[in-house]
């Protein structure tokens, strides 16, 4: 790839697309030329990048001529249609959807964990599920030291993971309920304000949702750990931004809290915030808009052999999406 590539952002006007632009700018990614692509509905809009207004163009099948790198965040159906076209045009695609994650020919990458897998790409590289990425930021360093066998986890996922309409729904419902009015639900099957929903994505025949199975399936691929097992319950909570996950992990080798803390203290992209006596632990409110994930509530698991419990939180629009994509792109630079 060129040292100053021509970069396209597909889905540029969406929440993750906006974060991709901010992250490219913040990390001083060497953008030689920038193309913003979105649906026809966004024609006429401009977005700021490095102090200038960049017009949004319509995403079409011939839109990738001359583009070196495309960051996709426009949904699985768009990725399935346009990412192969971009790759055939000589563009390297970093895709944020689930379309190619479990494709054996497509690397699924968290740079701090398996960044070297980028080198095996054939034109498309996949970004993992946001909850998986945030969880693995804390789990993988422990796996490398003690070898994880299985986890039991519950996620606490912000409404922004669903999109702008979900944020608006939470805001509207809060106003309605405070005013003594009934809360109307359109995005979610039930009221989300002052409530939690143990339901993210579509239910599968095994009783889990697709979101819940991603932790095991994607975790195996990212960690190169085909026997890894994960029993997960994914929960939507009335938080605007940043996901949190409670994890109970079992390891092959004995693990102590002190040994785990020493390992996590060296992990890139991760901060330890673990001082319960002073009420200091990771909070979605405080990790929102921050690049690093945070881990805390470290303690021995009293129900598992060689077990450890921890709580990890991270901004799913950043490490779970835009930041991870840009970090992958940085690996492609000469």
CA distance 252 to 304: 11
Q: What are the tokens at 230?
A: 């994960």
Q: Give Cα 95 to chain centroid, integer Å.
A: 11
302 in active site: no
Contact 243, 316 (CB under 8 A): yes
| Nearest to 17, CA basis, from 86, 73, 65 | 73
Neighbours of 315 (CB within 10 A): 26
Q: Is 145 left (phi over 0), alpha (psi -120 to 50) or beta?
A: alpha
CA-CA-CA-CA torsion for 324, 327, 332, 334, nearest 10 degrees? Answer: 180
Q: Tokens 């809360």 sit at which residue?
A: 183
Residue 115's CB: how many other CB atoms inside 10 A?
15
Backbone angles phi, psi at 318, to 5 degrees: -100, -85
243 noted as active-site residue:
yes
CB atoms within 10 A of CB 180: 6
Given the residues 6, 143, 243, 309, select the one marked as catalytic.
243
Q: Are 142 and 135 in contact (CB under 8 A)?
A: no
The rounded radius of gyration (Å) of the Cα atoms in the chain is 20
Round to whole Å and give the CA distance between 144 and 303.
Answer: 22
The residues pairing with 243 across neighbouring beta strands, listed in sequence order, are 314
Write down the catalytic residue from 91, 121, 130, 234: 130
Residues tagged active-site: 130, 243
């Amino acid at each position: 790839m060129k040292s100053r590539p021509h970069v396209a952002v597909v889905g540029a006007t969406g929440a993750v697309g906006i974060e991709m632009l901010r992250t490219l700018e913040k990390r001083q990614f060497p953008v030689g030329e920038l193309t913003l692509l979105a649906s026809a509905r966004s024609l006429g809009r401009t977005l700021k990048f490095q102090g200038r207004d960049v017009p949004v163009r319509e995403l079409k099948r011939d839109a990738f001529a001359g583009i070196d790198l495309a960051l996709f965040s426009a949904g699985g159906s768009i990725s399935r249609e346009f990412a192969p076209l971009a790759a055939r045009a000589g563009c390297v695609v970093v895709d944020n959807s689930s379309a190619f994650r479990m494709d054996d020919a497509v690397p699924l990458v968290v740079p701090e964990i398996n960044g070297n897998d980028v080198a095996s790409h054939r034109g498309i590289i996949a970004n993992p599920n946001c909850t998986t990425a945030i969880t693995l930021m804390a789990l993988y360093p422990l796996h490398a030291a003690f070898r994880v066998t299985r986890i039991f986890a519950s996620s606490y996922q912000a409404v922004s993971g669903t999109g702008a309409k979900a944020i608006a729904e939470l805001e509207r419902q809060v106003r309605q309920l405070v005013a003594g009015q009934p809360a109307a639900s359109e995005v979610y099957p039930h009221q989300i304000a002052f409530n939690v929903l143990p339901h993210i994505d579509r239910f599968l025949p095994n009783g889990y949702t697709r979101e819940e199975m991603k932790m095991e399936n994607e975790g195996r691929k990212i960690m190169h750990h085909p026997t890894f097992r994960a029993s997960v319950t994914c929960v939507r909570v009335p938080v605007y931004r940043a996901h949190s996950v409670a994890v109970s992990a079992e390891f092959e080798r004995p693990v102590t809290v002190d040994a785990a803390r020493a390992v996590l203290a060296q992990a890139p992209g991760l901060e330890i915030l673990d001082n319960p006596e002073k009420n200091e632990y990771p909070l979605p409110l405080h990790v929102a808009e921050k690049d690093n994930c945070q881990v805390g509530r470290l303690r021995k698991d009293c129900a598992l052999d060689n077990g450890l419990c921890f709580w990890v939180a991270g901004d799913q629009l950043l490490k779970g999406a835009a930041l991870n994509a840009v970090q992958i792109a940085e690996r492609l630079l000469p």
